[in-house]
Amino acid sequence: MSSLVNRRVHVAVCGGVAAYKAVETVRLLQKAGAVVQVAMTANAQAFVGPLTFQAITHLPVLTRTLDPSDEMEIGHIAFAQENDVLLVVPASANILAKCAAGIGDEVVSTVLLATRPRRSPVLFAPAMNTAMYENEATQNNLRILRERGYQIVEPDAGALACGAVGPGRLALSEAIVDAVVAALTPRVLVGRRVLVTAGPTREFFDPVRFLSNPSTGKAGFEIAAAAARAGAEVTLIHGPCSLPLPPGVSSVAVTTAIEMHAAVMAHLPGVDVVVMTAAVSDYRARAVSATKVKKLDEVQSLELVRNPDILAELGASRVGASPLLIGFAAESGPPLEYARAKLISKRCDLIVANDITAEGAGFGVDTNRVSLVTAEGIVELPVLSKAAIGERLVVFMAERLAGSPSP
């Protein structure tokens, strides 16, 4: 999940069983760094008390319009307009209809009437009974809202609280937060193609054993997600990873370094940027046994041969500055000298260097502390989430690509 640090997210909660799920959504928004304030319809308050939201947001909850004390705390116009994004969760069929018709008869509909969805994003996450969702009136209202610039986080299909089975179940909180992040991301990579590699490779030396490393692929998946949010067409070539595929990203699963090499070369034509985050095994077994290797002597040796260095090959074969090449240098110790050497030897535009032994850095954790090493110099970043590092790299890509025509 990506960073929403200090972004003001206003959440309007409507009536429905799914209202309780809005509590989790608010928590996730906060976890991503957002400052959240909540408004509730009277019906929503029948399902969850305003005190719950007040307790977790530490801010007053807007429950009424034209109420002197509520309007003193935050007026409905301010709630509608003084935010980075407004999220309606769960959005009932009723609120969609009122917003489409321009009705403002209670707090949330009045707030919506005061929004300008093309100026600052407004998202609806609908949840309702399948028949209500599929009703022509609701579908018509959704179409009208989309045309006016409102964004819809599509509901999932499944078993609903009312007993129906079908579309209408509130999207997962993670998906709703992803949509909020996407709505706030500048689309600086529209028309660009980005190829990201991620995760480990496995080099089998018999049918059940392999050489590998503890890479989880987290950094690469976050970079792919950030590039997709910025509008790029992203291909993620990954070794064995157990992470969910980021939305809007196409993926190619590989196992060995040789397979990763072949996949990268096959997808290279037309690519603007290659980001090699994969922890590619430098060696593979010279011979792979067709049967499981038996225990024999106390000491057993395994002969290894070098794998292709994908990044070095891309650097050596590229024409001019295309594609933009970003490599990673994970070292167990101060990495900057190695990173500088790698920048030159692999002919990259950027090496993202990190010391995997440092606190808050390395394999499997959500954060990293990296330095950006370019021909112009070194920028040392603080400990950041891997998602925030992905966003930082998107800025680098956009800056470097500015001025170069998209294919």
Name the residues annotated as catalytic.
162
Stretch that binds ligand C5P, among 83-91, 137-145, 245-253, 322-330 (CB under 6 A): 322-330
CA dist 37 and 164 (Å) reads 32
Contact pick of 19, 36, 276, 373 for ligand C5P (by CB under 6 A): 276
Whichever of 195 and 401 has its CB closer to ligand C5P, that residue is: 195
Q: What is the per-residue binding string for ligand C5P in 279-318, x denoting contact by CB under 6 A?
A: -x-x------------------------x-xxx-------
Minimum distance, C-beta of residue 328 to ligand C5P, in the bound complex (Å): 4
Could you tell me the two tokens for 203?
A: 């080099």
Minimum distance, C-beta of residue 218 to ligand C5P, in the bound complex (Å): 14
Whichever of 26 and 276 has its CB closer to ligand C5P, that residue is: 276
Whichever of 238 and 342 has its CB closer to ligand C5P, that residue is: 342
206 binds ligand C5P (CB under 6 A): no
Whichever of 181 and 348 has its CB closer to ligand C5P, that residue is: 348
Residue 134 half-sphere exposure toward CB, CA atoms < 13 A = 9
Whichever of 39 and 311 has its CB closer to ligand C5P, that residue is: 311
CA dist 130 and 93 (Å) reads 11
Whichever of 27 and 318 has its CB closer to ligand C5P, that residue is: 318
- Alpha carbon 402 to its chain's center: 23
Contacts of 269 (CB under 8 A, 6+ apart): none
CA dist 345 and 316 (Å) reads 9
Strand runs (DSSP E) across 102-247, as ranges? 122-126, 151-152, 156-159, 165-169, 193-198, 203-206, 209-211, 233-238
- The one-character DSSP state at 321 is T
Number of residues in contact with ligand C5P, rule: CB under 6 A? Answer: 13
257 binds ligand C5P (CB under 6 A): yes
Contact pick of 79, 205, 328, 396 for ligand C5P (by CB under 6 A): 328
Find, among 337, 326, 328, 335, the residue nearest to 395 by Cα: 326
259 binds ligand C5P (CB under 6 A): no
- Indicate the angle between helix axes 136-147 and 93-101, nearest 10 degrees: 50
Minimum distance, C-beta of residue 306 to ligand C5P, in the bound complex (Å): 8
Q: Which residues of 167-186 are buried (b: 16+ CB within 10 A; e: fewer)?
A: bbbbbbbebbbbbbbbbbbe
- Chain residues that interact with ligand C5P, rule: CB under 6 A: 257, 276, 278, 280, 282, 307, 309-311, 327-329, 342
